[in-house]
Amino acid sequence: MHPSPTEERSVMFKLPHPLAKYRQAVLVGSAISAAALAMPSQAVDIRTVIADTVKSNPLVLAELRETDARDREVRQALAGYYPSLDLVAGYGFQERDPADRTFAAPGGTRNDLWRHEMQLSARQMVFDGFYTPYELKNQKARRQSAEYRAQSVGEDIAFSVTRVFLEVIKGEAILDLAQKTLDYHQSVYDRMGERFDSGVGSRADLDQISSRLALARTNVQNARANLRNARINYQQIVGTFPPEGVLEFPGSYNKYLPASVEAAVQRAAENHPIMKVAETDLEAAGYTYEQTKSAFYPRFDVEVERDLNKNIDGVEGQIDDLRVMLRMRYNLFRGGADQARTQQFAHLVEKAKQIRNNARREVEEELRLAWVAHETLTEQIPVLIQYVEDAGATKSAYVDQFDLGRRTLLDLLNTENESINAERDLINAKHDLILNEYRIFHGMGDLLATVGASL
């Protein structure tokens, strides 16, 4: 025989208090920051992780080696100003006239001799149509571009570290919240099961808490999976798995943000390494274009040649020669190839300009999106804090009313769910706020400098 509604409410009032114990946990801050943001004794801070990662990440190291290679190309271009020195030597048989194999009179010219050759030659460029000066400028610009590109990759890696670092911290906080929710539902389920077994509880209430308990278990499983994924993402960027529970919540650099988004955009246009890459690539294209014009100029070289030969052209004996010449080489016709090459690089200069313009748009877009997100989250967090406080107060009141029989189990579970959702939203917002703050510094090209790291 089931108890009457009055008797059932009386039994509810006597429900032991896992609920009473939990009532204090719903107050703002206790369910959010205590476990999620607490700093252990050996906390790992984000500045250290960023500094270590940018010095060991393969993508950064690859770009640094590219910079070193470009530096050697600068040295190659510089060699165009230096003289070239060559030594040529040879030894072999020469037959002067294959049709006549007779020997000349003694002391005369023989038809076949063993030939000895040696030539030492030096060439110094005097004028090459400005090819070498522009080649040197071109390679210096390409080297500078590679350095800026390495800086850009370093900035990207630093922001990726920030993202995965916060993912792990948030994953731990969400898992902790999900686990506490599961523990709470388990305690309620145990009590409702005891009441049902004793014949004073309803099947509907038991089924209700059973379904909520299953959902809570699923949420814990999902939270664990998300945390594992976050740890894997961390390992891919940083190179090691994060230690459990010791990542320190990143500090804020909000006071270093520009006063307005327009100031941030201006800073990015002047400082972002991607913008510098685009500018130096444009410079390099311009220098290459100027190089193509050298084909329309004559080339002048000073050439010194010293020959030490023996038995040359059928003449026995040593034949030495010394030549010091100023030589001009001037192409008169190459089928229009030189004009076509100049036009080709004129188009490539225009292409580089458009790439620079597009880079400016992309940098500005990313920065403005980060700024809007940061402003929105800054406005939302006080509202979410109030939401958590109100939801916690409501839940606390519902616990009291449930004890008095004025609220059903469904009412209590629904307000518990709302309270948990409010806390989860606040956790997400706090992490996203810091992420977008670092995103703004990344958008300006200042993230490494802000956290005190360098390549």
Q: What is the pLDDT of residues 263-314, one digit of tens each?
A: 999 999 999 999 999 999 999 999 999 999 999 999 999 999 999 988 887 7
pLDDT at 7: 37
Residue bearing the bigger pLDDT, 91 or 7: 91
- Assign 98 a pLDDT band (cuts: 50, 70, 90): low
Residues 208, 409: contact at Cβ < 8 Å?
yes
pLDDT at 42: 80
pLDDT at 202: 78
pLDDT at 12: 33
Average pLDDT over the chain, rounded to an integer:
88
Give how far Cα 350 sits from Cα of 139, 230, 353, Å: 19, 43, 5
pLDDT at 102: 53
pLDDT at 24: 40
- In sequence order, the 6+-apart residues with CB closer than 8 A to the CB of 406 are none
Averaged pLDDT for residues 310-338: 90
Residues 173, 32: contact at Cβ < 8 Å?
yes
pLDDT tens by residue, 368-396: 999 999 999 999 999 999 999 999 999 88
CA dist., res. 442 & res. 156, Å (int): 7
- Assign 125 a pLDDT band (cuts: 50, 70, 90): very high
Residue bearing the bigger pLDDT, 60 or 24: 60
pLDDT at 382: 97
Sign of CA dihedral 261, 266, 267, 269: positive
pLDDT at 22: 37
Q: Which of 143-147, 194-198, 236-240, 263-267 has the lowest mean pLDDT?
A: 194-198
**Strands, DSSP E only, in 219-337?**
299-312, 315-329
Tokens for 282, please give them. Answer: 């444009």
- Assign 97 a pLDDT band (cuts: 50, 70, 90): low
Averaged pLDDT for residues 10-19: 36
| % of residues, the chain, pLDDT over 90 | 72
Averaged pLDDT for residues 348-367: 98
pLDDT at 106: 53
pLDDT at 28: 37
pLDDT tens by residue, 214-258: 999 999 999 999 999 999 999 999 999 999 989 999 999 999 999
CA dist., res. 290 & res. 271, Å (int): 28
What amino acid occupies position 249? F
Domains in the chain with CATH codes: 5-81+134-297+338-451 (1.20.1600.10)
| % of residues, the chain, pLDDT over 70 | 87
Residue bearing the bigger pLDDT, 426 or 184: 426
pLDDT at 192: 82
